[in-house]
Structure 1
């Protein structure tokens, strides 16, 4: 916690509380759309597991034959126009990159595509309400999933799901990581506790809410060419630029991989040549057998314009193609109350 920023956090709390009051009291009206709207969001900024849960939810709906559209902001992308991509689109020729779609949106698309899940759309736009309205009007889906929608109260939702990280800060940004007070869990219809690799103490602000318990399950280490087992990794330089790097470090430790050096970068980070040189130098200095990162970081590196549009060798290509760089493939699994989650969704789809 950054104590010196607490006064700013208090001002932020006041602003958030006023805004929420205006919506809750009906002074500000939320936009109502024809499709069923499911919001997946959080209270803490970053690292709660929204994207894997959106993937899980989309997979369930597509397997039921529903026409689903995911609306995402595509955080930290450089393009500001609306992008529309089919969920089954294979980005083999890299027509899409993180600059025009965003790393998490592109990772979500690649995961859905790898499962052969067709029949849905990913629509990326800066303004969630305008993007959702565009998607509803133009494509007429049965369901729209709003990625990171809990604070976006301009849009009415039929089901409000909040993902919880058990280690969330108790202070609002910028002193902590909360986007609004914990008491606002009461606004959610359903809480998903993402334990990742942790045991979760029940928070008093959500103990009376329906809860679904999830966790992460390690699948494999892979890159765009190869899948390897942990037994092949003697030691590794590990790096990541995600919302909660500690959870990735915990995975590496649980897999009993000897970590020569662990490098942490900001979430959604645009790596510089100097950063990549530092990673490769650490690999050489420690004589490591591998370099390991997260899928989000790997997607960001591989699908950068610096790789796709480069006509000659550069630092990005050097790390990706000349070093043993692998990402951890992680899956989200439901540990308890999954039947409640899916019954809520099924009931929503049956309602008029």
Structure 2
């Protein structure tokens, strides 16, 4: 966005920020109700619209809670789904009914029986989870930083290293959902997508920018992405009864490749793929949470040549499972690239210390 356009949009940003500031004041003063629950709520969110890495951080937290003996559940808004109201994810669901992120969580944590729900009103979602899974000992709230109607026990704020909130403006002049002062509600700030070799001096510079807006002595941690081995999208794709297409090769050959994404910030993934020796001949870069259509895959196929792997993300793959897309996917060697989080320095140990302790009944199981 050009500087002149940003300048022209600033009055609208100030107006929007003022409305949100009044809303936040009403919650802070107790005029608007913020509900607490018997189980701890662990909120994960950001000030910026999209692209800070909430999904892999939620996965890291849930895996850590499982290791500590908790019985965690995950509650998300379910952005982009075709249903409304609180909904508990089940085998009959898909990305279309619960949202791509909740469905990714459901598939990832199915072996551990971690309940996953979607709800626009988080209070209703919490009640649904506790009603259907009364043994739940903690609930992780995905993307609920601005949802003040529920009160997290621990509020985790994410901000991207390349686009820190303290250098951004409120919508529409920038990408912030609220003013920078919203960082005061954070109990811990995680700077995401950092270079693995980020120096202590640069970490200190980022920390100074954050503490100008957050509460004093709030921990500032730094995390990076780690990409896993590409996985075939499906062992087989069935077009109709009795017809089975051959599976993709277990390891995609290095060389020319295509990239298909519908996420907010696909550039780090592209840089990783190119760093592995692939040449991205075509990148189908679609909006975040995009509901893939047959025409999208037809356009992708038009750029594809036999032998070229097609890479995508785990979140995007949840939307490719739609039955209507299977004919368009026929014969395309699609691979998903897992994305996981690792912390720099002692960040993981510091975050573990902030997590609520597992109840004795859970830790004894």
1:51 to 55, 80, 92: 55
Q: Could you tell me whether the CA contact under 8 Å between 1:239 and 1:292 is conserved in 2?
A: yes
Instruction: After TM superposition, give the deviation of residue 334 of structure 1 in Å.
Output: 2.3
1:157 counterpart = 2:188: no
Normalised to the residue count of structure 1, the TM-score between the two structures is 0.85
Q: 1:134 to 1:298 in 2, by over 3 A?
A: closer
Q: Distance in 1 between matches of 2:71 and 2:194?
A: 30
Q: How much does 1:252 deviate?
A: 1.8
Q: What SS does the aligned partner of 2:300 have?
A: helix
Counterpart in 2 of 1:209?
218
Using a 3 Å threshold, how does the CA distance of structure 1 residues 211 and 227 change in structure 2: closer, same or farther?
Answer: farther
Paired residues for 1:98-117 under 5 Å? 98-113=95-110, 116-117=111-112
In structure 2, the partner of 1:268 is: 289
Question: Contact 2:86 / 2:124 at 8 angstroms: preserved in 1?
Answer: no
CA RMSD of aligned residues (A): 2.3
Distance in 1 between the 2:358 and 2:220 partners? 17
Match among 343, 346, 350 for residue 334 of structure 1: 343
Flag structure 1 segments of 5+ consecutive residues without an equivalent: 311-315
> Structure 1 residue aligned with 2:24, among 11, 20, 25?
20
User: Residue 13 of structure 1: CA displacement?
Assistant: 0.8
In the alignment, the residues of structure 2 paired with residue 183 and residue 349 of structure 1 have an alpha-carbon distance, to the nearest angstrom, of: 34
Who is 1:132 aligned against? 126
Counterparts of residues 341-352 of structure 1 (less than 5 Å): 341-347=351-357
Which residue of 2 is the match for residue 178 of structure 1? 176
State the partner residue of 1:187.
Answer: 185
C-alpha deviation, 1:229, in angstroms? 4.1
Q: 8 Å contact 1:33–1:136 — kept in the other structure?
A: no
Other structure's SS at 1:239 match: strand
Following TM superposition, by how much is the alpha carbon of 1:102 offset from its aligned partner in structure 2, in angstroms? 0.7
Q: Closer, same or farther in 2 for the Cα pair 1:348/1:164, shift >3 Å?
A: farther
Distance, in Å, in 1 between the alignment partners of 2:29 and 2:359 is 28
The aligned length equals 327
Shift in Å, 1:138 = 4.9
8 Å CA contact retained: 1:319, 1:325: no
SS at match of 2:170: coil
Structure 2, unpaired ranges of 5+: 212-216, 236-247, 361-365
TM-score (norm 2): 0.82
What's the offset of the Cα at 1:76?
0.6
CA offset digits 1:169-216 (Å, max 9, x no partner):
601122321111223212100111212557465153424530222111
Distance 1:106 1:227, change over 3 A: farther
| Counterpart Cα distance in 2 of 1:56 and 1:26 | 33
2:14: which partner in 1? Answer: 10
